[in-house]
Structure 1
Amino acid sequence: MVRAVVFDIGETLVRDDRYWASWADWLGVPRHTMSALVGAVTALGLDNAEALRMIRPGIDLQAAYRDREDAGGGEYLDDTDLYPDVRDGLQALRNMGLRICVAGNQTAKAGDLLRGLRLPVDAIATSAEWGVAKPDAAFFDRVIKLAGAAPEETLYVGDHPVNDVVPARAAGLVTCLIRRGPWGLFWGDDPTVPADLRINGLADLPALLETAGRSPDALGEEK
C-alpha cells in the first residue's frame, strides 16, 4: 500500500521556462537557441548543464550563478511557474490521507522559494539543503526518511529516467514517470525505462491510486 508520494521539482511541479530564459538572457543568446540546445543534450543523454557549456565553453557555473544573483537576475518562483494541475493535484492526494513531499535537485534558495508558495504538502527539501544530489543513492535514503514510510510504501514521481526512475527503483521505491518537460516527453513511452506508473499530469494519480488500492503490484499492472 502506498502511504506517501514524493515529487521531483523541475518539470514535474515547476516549469523550467523562466530558468532557461534567464540563462539565455544572461549569456546573450536567443531563448529559442537555449531551448534547442537543452533539447539536443536531452536527446544525447547529457546533463542539461552541457547546454550552457556549449554556449560558453569553460564557464564556471557556480561563479555565473553567483554573478546572476548579485546582478538581480537570479532564481525566482511564483505561482505562474507551477504547472496548472499542481495545487489541485497535490491537494487531491492529501485528501486521500497520503503524506505528500517534494524533493529534487535544486538550490537552497529554490527550497525557500517553494516553501513560500505554500503548496499543500507536508515537507519540501532540496539537494543543496541535504548536501547530496540525484542520482546518488544517499539522496533517496533521505527521500525515504522524508516520506516517513517504507520504500515499498513510497511513490517517487519525476520526469527524468536517470535521475528519478532508475535510482528510486534501486532504492526500493515505487516509481512514476511523468510525461512532461523535455525528458519526460522524450522518454515517456520508452519501454526500457522501468517505471511502475506513467502519467500525463498530477490529475491522473488519485484515480490510479484509488483503483489500484494503492498497491505497488497493482500499480505496476496499470502502466
Structure 2
Amino acid sequence: MGWALMRSVVFDIGETLLDDTRGFAAWADWIGVPRHTFSALLGALVAQGRNNAETFQYFRPGFDLDHERQLREAAGVGEQIEESDLYPDVRPALSELRARGLWVGIAGNQTARVGELLRQLDLPADRIATSGEWQVAKPDRRFFDRVAELAPGERHQIAYVGDHRDYDVAAAGAAGLQPILVRRGPWGHLWADDPLTTASAKWIVRSLMELPDLLRPNVP
C-alpha cells in the first residue's frame, strides 16, 4: 500500500470520528417515528446518493432542520456529544499521528454547537472547525479552501479523511487535497468499492489506526 509524506491530516466528523447512531435515534424520537423506520428510509436515500437531510421531508413535508434544532435546544434535548459517541480508534489514532509529528485537524459538516461540544472533549487535535462556523459546507470547494488555509502545508501535503464518496473523497481530491476514505458507517461501507471512490481516494482504510503508518511527517 505504501506511505506518503504529509504535513497535516484533517478529519471529517460524522461517521468518521463520531458514531451517529445515538444522534439519528434522537431525531427519530423528536419527530415521533420508530427508530428503525427512520434508519431504513435514511439508508434508502443514502443508497440513491441523496442528502440524508431529505429523510425528514418524507415524515414532515416542509421540515425546517435549523428551526427544529433550535426547538430541541429550547426543550433541553439538543445536540449532545459524549465520549461514548467517539469510535474507539479516534483518540489513539489522533494521538499517535500528533506524536509522530503531523498536524491534526477536524473539520466537517456540522453545526457551530457541535464544534463547541467537540472542543469540550479535549481531543488530541490542533484545530477544530465546522461548516456552521465557516458558513460553507461540503462539497463546496470553498469548504476545502478553508481546510487548506487552516492546515499547514501545500494542498498535496494535506490528507483529508472521511466516509462519504462525494462530500469527502471526490470533493477533497478535486480541491487538491489527498483524500482517504474510512470504510465505516452507511456511506463508508456503501461506497468503499465504488469506481469513483477507488479512482479518487489515495487510500481506503478500515481503521484510523492504519493512518500513522501511511502518513509520515514532511516538516521543512
Q: State the Cα deviation string for residues 30-55 of structure 1 (Å, max 9, x = none).
A: 11111111111100111001111111
Superposed structure 1 runs of 4+ greater than 3 Å apart: none
Task: Say if 2:158 and 2:178, in contact at 8 Å, map to a contact too.
Answer: yes
Residue equivalent to 1:7: 11
Tell me how far apart the structure 2 counterparts of residues 128 and 58 of structure 1 sit (CA, whole Å). Answer: 21
Given the alignment, which residue of 83, 86, 107 partners 2:87?
Answer: 83
2:78 corresponds to: 74
Structure 2 counterpart of 1:137, one-letter code: R
Q: Is 2:49 aligned against 1:45?
A: yes
Counterpart of 1:100, as a letter, is: V
Amino acid at match of 2:134: W
Query: 1:66 Cα deviation (Å)?
Result: 1.0
1:106 to 92, 95, 110: 110
State the TM-score, normalizing by the size of structure 1: 0.92
C-alpha separation in 1, matches of 2:178 and 2:86: 24
Structure 2: stretches of 5+ with no match in the other structure: none
After TM superposition, the structure 1 = structure 2 runs for residues 29-44 of structure 1, keeping only pairs within 5 Å, are 29-44=33-48
The 8 Å contact of residues 46 and 187 in structure 2, kept in 1 or not, is answered as yes
The amino acid that maps onto 1:139 is F
**TM-score scaled by length of structure 2:** 0.94
In structure 2, what is the equivalent of residue 135 of structure 1? 139
Alignment of 1:1-223 (within 5 A): 1-193=5-197, 194-210=200-216
Structure 1 residue runs of 5 or longer lacking an equivalent are: 215-223
- Identity over aligned residues, as a percent? 55
Contact 2:170 / 2:196 at 8 angstroms: preserved in 1?
A: no
Distance, in Å, in 1 between the alignment partners of 2:74 and 2:48 is 33
RMSD, aligned CA: 1.1
Structure scoring higher RCO (CA < 8 A, sep ≥ 6) equals 2
How many residues align? The count is 212
Assess if the C-alpha contact under 8 Å between 2:159 and 2:179 holds in 1.
Answer: yes
Letter of the 1:97 partner, please give it: G
Kept after mapping to 1: 8 A contact 2:169/2:181: yes
